[in-house]
Chains A and B, each alone.
Chain A
Amino acid sequence: MSTTERDGAAPAGPVVAGLGRRFNPGPPLGIVLRYGSRLSIAVLALGVALALARGEKEGSGLRPDAMATALWHGHGAGVVGVGIAILIATPICRDVTALALFVRHKERALAIMTGVVLLLVALTLVFSTVS
């Protein structure tokens, strides 16, 4: 019987080799990564096809305002920008999901570590945007 079963909470994933009786957040995180990567690759491919069809040579940059303008004009570069944004957001969503699961399963130390990673990424985003 797993720790989570003893605690009365539903286990989020199976118990696997290397994790023994501990809660394993792997399966739900795998779902986030699977759909995030598939979506980003599909959007990127669409954007590249559109950019090739229109003969675009210049990128729009990846700032939200530039991407919105490119999308508004139907440029493939704008669609590519959205694809890259989804790609970058996917591991962040994975860690947000992990944080929620660790908190739910009272895995305090791992929740703190995951929180630190997210904080570092958030600070990078804020300072990069400000600078």
Chain B
Amino acid sequence: MAAGLVSAIAGFLGSLLGLGGGLFVTPLLSGPLGMPIHHAVAASIVAVIATSSAGGSGYLKRGVPNVRLGMLLEVGTVLGAIVGTLLGGSLSANAIAGMFAVILVYTAVSMLHGNSERTVPADPLAVRLGLADDYPIGHLRLGLLISVFAGVISGLLGVGGGIIIVPMLVMMMGVPIKIAAATSTFMIGVTGVASAIIQVEQGNVDPLLAAPVILGIFVGATLGPRIAPKISPALLRFLFLAAIGISVIQMVQKAVA
């Protein structure tokens, strides 16, 4: 019950801030609830699949994601997720917590800095593949490479990876921000699948622990977008900084324990 409640809060906060619930659920589960961090990461990545499938289907209904680009970049994220999950299995809880703290700080800086849209020169390969006709897509090969890195982070820490993919799509590849966010949500499901399969085989997914986390994040992520318009930007900023701050403290404590 406690795991479900904590996950609902994480999913709610994540969706309010345009992030996946995975970013907050691992610090909450492994901190106050005392769940082993490897199990928290595993439960989180399975929950990420649920939010990606549910969120992705909503975006697809409205025709928002660039499906062709997403499916191309998935090659990189899936490859990275396999490497990241295998790497995570051999790392200590302290090391994972330390990396998590670094990613949380990066997220805070990245969110406060913002993703400014820009037009980039079209990559000839993207043109040949017909990835988009309304806006030029640049740096496709580099994007594929960074997608591998996003996949590694996703597999290692059980997060969606959107915090790396969205800025990359917007600022480096020239994808409009709404399409970038929807494409990232669409992509991360199959990326999570590669990680989840390894986590299941490593025995890190306890169904009775993972299920409340999945349901909690799902409920929280469903409520978030409905309540978001009623929350002032100042309160949203405070919630964001508070959630990141508490999560960083949790992870640093674990890293040095």
Interface residues of A (CB under 8 A from B): 13-14, 16-22, 24-27, 29-31, 33-34, 36-38, 40-41, 44-45, 47-48, 51, 56-62, 76-77, 80-81, 83-84, 87-88, 90-92, 94-95, 98, 109-110, 113-114, 116-117, 120-121, 124-125, 128-129, 131
Contact = CB atoms under 8 A, between A and B. Distances in A.
B212 interface: yes
Contacts of B214: 41, 44, 84, 87
Given A24-B67, A88-B193, A110-B72, A47 B60 contact: no
Interface of B: 46, 49-50, 52-54, 56-57, 59-61, 63-68, 71-72, 74-75, 78-79, 82, 129-130, 132-135, 176, 179, 189-190, 192-194, 196-198, 200-201, 203, 205-212, 214-215, 218
B63 A16 contact: yes
Contact of A121 (B63, B67, B194): B194
B208 A51 contact: yes
Contacts of B68: 19, 22, 24-25, 110
A88 B211 contact: no
A30 B75 contact: no
Contacts of A41: 50, 54, 214-215, 218
Contact of A88 (B54, B56, B67, B196): B196
Given A26-B60, A33-B60, A121-B194, A58 B208 contact: yes
A80 B214 CA distance: 11
DSSP majority for the A interface? helix
Contacts of B196: 88
A109 B134 CA distance: 20
A90 B205 contact: no
Nearest to A31: B57
Contacts of A129: 201
Contacts of B194: 120-121, 124
B67 A29 contact: yes
Given A18-B133, A45-B215, A29 B60 contact: yes
13 contacts: A17-B179, A18-B133, A18-B134, A19-B67, A19-B133, A22-B133, A37-B53, A37-B54, A48-B212, A62-B205, A91-B190, A91-B192, A117-B75
Contacts of A116: 75
A52 to B, nearest CB: 8
Contacts of B65: 26
Contacts of A29: 60, 67
- With a 10 A CB-CB cut-off, give which of B130, B193, B214 has the most chain A CB atoms: B193
B62 to A, nearest CB: 9
Contact of B49 (A18, A59, A87, A125): A87
A128 to B, nearest CB: 4
B57 A33 contact: yes
Nearest to A17: B134
Given A18-B176, A30-B60, A91-B193, 18 more contacts: A13-B63, A19-B67, A20-B130, A26-B60, A31-B57, A36-B53, A62-B200, A76-B208, A80-B211, A88-B193, A91-B53, A91-B189, A92-B190, A110-B72, A113-B74, A116-B75, A124-B197, A125-B197
